[in-house]
C-alpha cells in the first residue's frame, strides 16, 4: 500500500475497501456498486491480504447462492418451491392491491409478482412503494387450493444500506488528512485513480455528489458520451434514483392525485434524469411547469393543497457538438428538448458541470487503492443535509453586490455542498475557501451567461467577489477565456476588471490560429489553465525555437514512456521549424532513472536514431539527482523558456489508440495547469 492507503486504513478501519475488488467479484451480476460494496464491507473491509481473499470467496459464494440472474430466475423459483424458503438478492418494489386490501411485492430479476407483504414492513421501508429498493429478502412458498391466493410470501427483508454511523468519528478522522489527501480519498471512493486527474477535474467529479448532501440542489451536466455522468446516480448511493430516458410523469415524480400518494421527490435525496438532452424529445408541459415551481420554491401543488419535498434534481445528457460550435450557433443548452430550453426552467439551475472537460472513462482510470465503502459515505452525505455551510465564506469574502438573489442562492448552495464534501469539519484556510467559492461562482455564471443569449430580458451581471482587503476579483468561465470572440455578448462588460493573471493572455497566444499574423517575439509570461485545449508545442514554443542552431533542454523527468514521447513531440516541432538545408543540435540534460535506466536509455537511443535522419543532432547528458532545480529550454540565439512543469503539460490521453485525435494531435488534448515564461538573454 502507498502512504495514503496506509493512512486511510489507519483512520477508517473497517469502513473502507479496496476498490478493484468490485470488479473482481461483480462477474456477470448486474447490480449497483453500492450493493457489491455493501457485501464487501461486511467481509473485506481490511488491509490484511489473507482476510481479503477469504472475504472475496465469501462474497462470491453469497452472490452465487442468492443473487438472482434473470436467465436463472426459473431455477431459483423452483428452489424456493422445493425448499419452501430461500434468501435472494434482488430489486424489490411494492404496490397496494386495493381490491384485496393487501400489499404485494414484485421482484425485478426473479420475475414474480403478487408476493404478500405485511403492512409493518412497508411502514418501515416506504421506498419500496416508489421504484423499488435492492434488498436481501427471505421468500417463502406455500401453495393454496384457493385460486385467488398467491403462493409467494415475503417473510423478512433487509434493504442493502448502512444501518448506523458515527458522524463525530468521521469528522475527527477528517482532521488527520490534508486537503489534497482528503480529495484523493474521495476520488478513490468514487472508484477513480486520483493520479490521473488534475485538481479541477477532481472538483468536477466531486460536484456530482452535492445533490446527496444539499437539499433541493439543482444540477445539470451536459457533455460527450462515456464520461460517467449517470454512474454516480445509478450506482453510488441507495438514496438516489436514476430515471432512464429522462421521461417521467407528474404522478410518478410529484403526486398521484387519484391515490394521493406522493411521488419520487418525497422518498429520494437525489432524483436524476438520464439522457436528458435531445432536441427531438418531447416533454409534458405540465411536468415542466410543476418542475420549475418545485426547483424554485421546494414545493408543488396537489389540487388545493401545497406539498413540500427535499429531493435534489440532477439532469444529465449528451451534447452533439463542440463548445465553439454551440457558442457560434446557439448556446450551451442548445441540445435540450424545446420544452426545457426555457429561460425560466434554466434559471433554476444552481450549477452547470461542463461535461466536455470531463475525460471519457478509460480502464486505467479506475482505482486499485482504498476508498470508503460507498454506502458509508452515502450515509455521511445524507446526514450532512441537515447542516448549512453556505455562509462559511462570509468572514473572508463578499459576493459582488449586483449578483441577484437567485444567482447568490446558486453560488451559496454549491459552496455549501462542496464545503460539506471537502471540509465537513469546517476547518479550511482562506485560500481553500476561495478555491471553493470561485468554483461555485463559475458554475452559476455558466448558467447565467447562457440565459443572456436565450432571453434578452436578463440583465448582465458582474460575477465575482471581494477579498478581505477589498480587492475585487472577477470570475470567468474557461469557455469565456478560450473563445472570447464567440462567448463575447453573453458576458457583461466589466469596467473594473484589471489584467490579472487569469490565463486570458496566455490562452490567446498559446492557441494561435492558421491565419494569425506573425507577431514579433517578446518576453512574456503565460498561464495555461487545467482542462484548456488547443495548446500545441508548435504555437507555444515553435516561434522561439525557429532559427536556433543549438537548443539545450533541461528536465530531470524524461524517464517514463509518456515523458519520452513529450520530448519526441518537441523534437518534431523543431524538425518542422528548421530549414531542410540546416542542422540543429539538441542536447538533453536529465537524470538517470534509478530503477529503469536501461529502458530510459532505449527511448533516448531510438530518438537519437530518428533525429539523425531529419538533420537533428540529438544527444543527452545524465547529471546527479537533485542537481537540477528548474526545467527550461535555452537557445543559442538568445531565448530562455522557463517551464514550471517541463514538457509534461498534457493530461493522460489515449496514447495507444491510433484512431484517437488526442493521440494524433496535441490541440485535442486537455492540459494540466502550467505556466511558461519567455526571457530574452543578454548576449
Cβ neighbour number for residue 523 with a 10 Å cutoff: 10
Q: Is the pLDDT of residue 513 over 90?
A: no
Model pLDDT for residues 540-571, shown as the tens digit of each residue: 999 999 999 999 999 999 999 999 999 999 99
CATH code, 70-159: 2.40.50
Q: Is the pLDDT of residue 436 over 90?
A: yes
Quote the pLDDT of residue 188: 96
Q: Is the pLDDT of residue 170 over 90?
A: yes
Cβ neighbour number for residue 153 with a 10 Å cutoff: 16
Quote the pLDDT of residue 307: 87
Contacts by residues 43-46 (CB-CB < 8 Å, ≥ 24 positions apart) = 44/17, 44/18, 45/13, 45/14, 45/15, 45/16, 45/17, 45/373, 46/9, 46/13, 46/14
Q: What are phi and psi of 610, to 5 degrees?
A: -65, -40
Model pLDDT for residues 197-214, shown as the tens digit of each residue: 999 999 999 999 999 999
CATH of range 509-680; options 3.30.870.30, 3.75.10.10, 3.40.47.10, 3.50.50.60: 3.30.870.30
User: Which stretches of 160-198 are DSSP H helices?
Assistant: 167-174, 179-189
Q: DSSP assignment of 523-559, as one string?
A: -EEEEE-TT-----HHHHTHHHHTT-SEEEEE-S---
Q: Return the C-alpha cell found at 619.
A: 544527444
Q: Is the pLDDT of residue 512 over 80?
A: no
Decide: residue 348, CB within 10 A, 0-12 exposed, 13-18 middle, 19+ buried. Answer: buried
Is the distance from CB of 332 to CB of 446 less than 8 angstroms?
yes
Q: What is the rounded average pLDDT of the residues 297-323?
A: 89
Quote the pLDDT of residue 492: 52
CA distance 331 to 447: 10
Q: Residue 514: pLDDT band by 50, 70, 90 thresholds?
A: very low
- Across 30-34, 70-74, 128-132, the highest mean pLDDT is recorded for 70-74
Higher local confidence (pLDDT), 386 or 509: 386
Quote the pLDDT of residue 257: 78
Equal fold, 70-159 vs 509-680 = no
Q: What is the rounded average pLDDT of the residues 487-509?
A: 47
CA distance 675 to 642: 8
Q: Residue 262: pLDDT band by 50, 70, 90 thresholds?
A: confident
Structural element, H or E, at residue 155: strand 152-159
Place of cell 455493501: 38
Q: What is the rounded average pLDDT of the residues 620-643?
A: 93
Q: Return the C-alpha cell found at 655.
A: 496514447
Decide: residue 580, CB within 10 A, 0-12 exposed, 13-18 middle, 19+ buried. Answer: exposed
CA distance 285 to 264: 19
Quote the pLDDT of residue 324: 93
Q: Residue 415: pLDDT band by 50, 70, 90 thresholds?
A: very high
CA distance 34 to 237: 6
Is the distance from CB of 104 to CB of 118 less than 8 angstroms?
no
Q: Residue 87: pLDDT band by 50, 70, 90 thresholds?
A: very high
Domain ranges (residues) in the chain: 70-159, 386-498, 509-680
CA distance 285 to 274: 18
Model pLDDT for residues 662-671, shown as the tens digit of each residue: 999 999 999 9
Average pLDDT, the chain: 90
CA distance 226 to 358: 9
Q: What are phi and psi of 44, to 5 degrees?
A: -125, 15
Q: Is the pLDDT of residue 503 over 60?
A: no
Model pLDDT for residues 280-294, shown as the tens digit of each residue: 888 888 899 999 999
Q: What is the rounded average pLDDT of the residues 1-12?
A: 93
Q: Residue 166: pLDDT band by 50, 70, 90 thresholds?
A: confident
Least confident window among 204-218, 363-377, 407-421, 565-579 = 363-377
Judged by DSSP in three states, 249 sits in coil
Q: Is the pLDDT of residue 516 over 60?
A: no
Q: Is the pLDDT of residue 506 over 50?
A: no
Q: What is the rounded average pLDDT of the residues 358-380?
A: 91
Q: What is the rounded average pLDDT of the residues 584-592?
A: 96
Is the distance from CB of 1 to CB of 33 less than 8 angstroms?
no
Q: Return the C-alpha cell found at 508.
A: 490567446
CA distance 491 to 461: 8
Quote the pLDDT of residue 117: 92
Report strand pairing: 312-318 vs 270-273: parallel
Quote the pLDDT of residue 164: 67
Q: Is the pLDDT of residue 494 over 80?
A: no
Judged by DSSP in three states, 94 sits in strand
| The Cα angle at residue 540 between residues 539 and 545, in degrees rounded to 5 | 90
Q: DSSP assignment of 376-423, as one string?
A: HHHHHHHHHTT---TTTTTTT-EE-TT--HHHHHHHHHHHHHHHHHH-
Provide the angle, in degrees to the nearest 10, between the axes of the packed helices 3-11 and 179-189.
80
- Across 14-28, 300-314, 362-376, 426-440, the highest mean pLDDT is recorded for 426-440
| The Cα angle at residue 466 between residues 464 and 471, in degrees rounded to 5 | 115
Q: Residue 246: pLDDT band by 50, 70, 90 thresholds?
A: low
Higher local confidence (pLDDT), 301 or 427: 427
H, E, C per residue of 608-666:
HHHHHCCCEEEEEEEECCCCCCCCEEEECCCEEEEECCCCCCECCCCCCCCCCHHHHCH
CA distance 106 to 456: 51
Q: Residue 29: pLDDT band by 50, 70, 90 thresholds?
A: confident
Quote the pLDDT of residue 144: 80
CA distance 33 to 372: 12
Q: Is the pLDDT of residue 163 over 80?
A: no
Quote the pLDDT of residue 568: 97
Q: Return the C-alpha cell found at 8.
A: 486511510
Model pLDDT for residues 91-142, shown as the tens digit of each residue: 999 999 988 899 999 999 999 999 999 999 999 888 888 778 899 999 999 8
Q: What is the rounded average pLDDT of the residues 462-481?
A: 94
Cβ neighbour number for residue 298 with a 10 Å cutoff: 15
The dihedral over CA atoms of 12, 17, 18, 20, expressed in degrees to the nearest 10, equals -150
Cβ neighbour number for residue 20 with a 10 Å cutoff: 12
CA distance 68 to 658: 41
Amino acid at each position: 500500500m502507498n502512504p495514503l492507503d496506509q493512512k486511510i486504513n489507519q483512520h477508517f478501519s473497517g469502513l473502507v475497501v479496496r476498490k478493484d475488488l468490485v470488479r473482481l467479484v461483480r462477474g456477470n451480476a448486474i447490480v449497483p456498486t453500492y450493493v457489491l460494496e455493501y457485501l464487501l464491507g461486511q467481509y473485506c473491509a481490511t488491509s490484511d491480504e489473507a482476510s481479503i481473499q477469504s472475504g472475496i470467496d465469501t462474497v462470491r459464494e453469497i452472490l452465487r447462492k442468492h443473487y438472482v440472474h434473470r436467465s436463472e430466475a426459473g431455477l431459483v423459483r423452483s428452489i424456493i418451491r422445493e425448499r419452501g424458503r430461500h434468501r435472494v438478492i434482488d430489486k424489490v418494489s411494492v404496490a397496494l392491491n386495493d381490491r384485496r386490501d393487501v400489499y404485494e411485492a414484485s421482484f425485478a430479476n426473479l420475475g414474480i409478482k403478487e408476493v404478500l407483504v405485511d403492512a409493518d414492513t412497508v411502514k418501515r421501508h416506504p421506498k419500496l412503494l416508489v421504484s423499488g429498493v435492492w434488498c436481501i429478502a427471505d421468500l417463502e412458498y406455500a401453495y393454496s387450493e384457493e385460486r385467488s391466493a398467491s403462493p409467494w410470501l415475503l417473510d423478512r427483508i433487509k434493504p442493502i444500506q448502512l444501518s448506523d454511523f458515527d458522524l463525530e468519528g468521521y469528522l475527527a478522522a477528517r482532521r488527520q488528512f490534508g486537503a489534497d489527501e482528503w480529495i484523493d480519498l474521495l476520488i478513490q471512493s468514487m472508484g477513480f485513480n486520483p493520479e490521473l486527474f488534475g485538481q479541477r477535474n477532481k472538483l468536477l467529479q466531486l460536484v456530482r455528489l452535492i445533490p446527496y448532501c444539499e437539499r433541493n440542489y439543482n444540477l445539470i451536466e451536459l457533455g460527450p458520451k462515456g464520461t460517467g455522468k449517470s454512474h454516480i446516480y445509478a450506482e453510488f448511493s441507495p438514496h438516489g434514483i436514476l430515471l432512464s430516458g429522462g421521461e417521467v410523469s407528474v404522478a410518478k415524480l410529484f403526486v398521484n392525485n387519484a391515490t394521493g400518494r406522493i411521488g419520487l421527490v418525497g422518498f429520494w435525496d437525489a432524483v436524476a434524469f438520464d439522457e436528458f438532452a435531445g432536441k427531438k424529445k418531447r416533454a409534458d408541459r405540465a411536468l415542466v411547469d410543476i418542475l420549475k415551481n418545485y426547483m424554485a420554491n421546494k414545493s408543488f401543488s396537489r389540487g388545493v393543497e401545497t406539498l413540500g419535498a427535499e429531493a435534489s434534481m440532477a439532469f444529465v445528457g449528451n451534447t452533439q457538438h463542440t463548445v465553439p460550435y454551440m457558442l457560434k450557433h446557439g448556446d450551451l443548452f442548445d441540445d435540450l428538448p424545446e420544452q426545457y430550453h426555457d429561460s425560466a426552467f434554466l434559471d433554476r439551475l444552481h450549477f452547470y458541470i461542463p461535461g466536455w472537460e470531463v475525460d471519457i472513462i478509460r480502464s486505467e482510470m479506475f482505482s486499485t487503492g482504498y476508498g470508503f465503502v460507498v454506502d458509508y459515505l452515502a450515509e455521511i452525505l445524507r446526514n450532512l443535509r441537515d447542516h448549512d455551510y453556505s455562509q462559511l465564506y462570509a468572514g473572508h469574502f463578499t459576493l459582488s453586490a449586483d449578483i441577484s438573489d437567485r444567482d447568490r442562492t446558486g453560488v451559496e448552495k454549491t459552496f455549501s455542498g462542496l464545503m460539506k464534501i471537502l471540509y465537513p469539519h469546517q476547518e479550511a484556510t482562506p485560500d481553500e475557501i476561495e478555491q471553493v467559492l470561485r468554483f461555485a461562482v463559475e458554475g452559476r455564471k455558466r448558467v447565467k451567461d447562457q440565459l443572456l443569449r436565450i432571453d434578452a430580458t436578463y440583465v448582465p451581471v458582474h460575477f465575482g467577489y471581494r477579498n478581505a482587503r477589498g480587492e475585487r476579483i472577477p470570475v470567468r468561465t474557461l469557455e469565456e477565456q478560450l473563445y472570447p470572440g464567440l462567448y463575447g455578448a453573453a458576458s457583461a462588460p466589466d469596467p473594473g476588471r484589471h489584467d490579472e493573471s487569469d490565463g486570458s493572455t496566455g490562452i490567446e497566444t498559446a492557441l494561435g490560429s492558421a491565419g494569425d499574423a506573425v507577431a514579433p517575439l517578446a518576453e512574456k509570461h503565460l498561464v495555461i489553465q487545467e482542462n484548456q485545449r488547443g495548446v500545441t508545442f508548435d504555437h507555444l514554443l515553435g516561434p522561439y525555437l525557429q532559427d536556433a542552431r543549438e537548443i539545450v533542454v533541461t528536465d530531470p523527468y524524461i524517464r517514463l514512456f509518456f515523458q519520452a514521447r513529450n520530448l519526441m513531440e518537441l523534437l518534431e516541432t523543431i524538425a518542422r521549424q528548421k530549414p531542410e538545408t540546416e542542422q540543429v543540435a539538441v542536447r538533453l540534460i536529465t537524470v538517470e532513472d534509478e530503477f529503469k535506466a536501461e529502458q530510459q536509455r532505449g527511448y533516448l537511443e531510438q530518438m537519437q536514431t530518428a533525429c539523425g535522419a531529419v538533420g537533428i543532432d540529438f544527444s543527452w547528458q545524465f547529471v546527479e539527482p537533485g542537481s537540477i532545480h528548474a526545467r527550461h529550454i535555452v537557445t543559442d540565439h538568445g531565448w530562455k523558456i522557463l517551464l514550471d512543469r517541463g514538457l509534461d503539460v498534457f493530461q493522460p490521453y489515449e496514447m495507444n489508440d491510433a484512431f484517437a485525435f488526442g493521440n494524433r494531435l496535441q490541440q485535442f488534448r486537455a492540459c494540466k495547469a502550467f505556466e511558461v515564461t519567455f526571457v530574452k538573454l543578454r548576449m
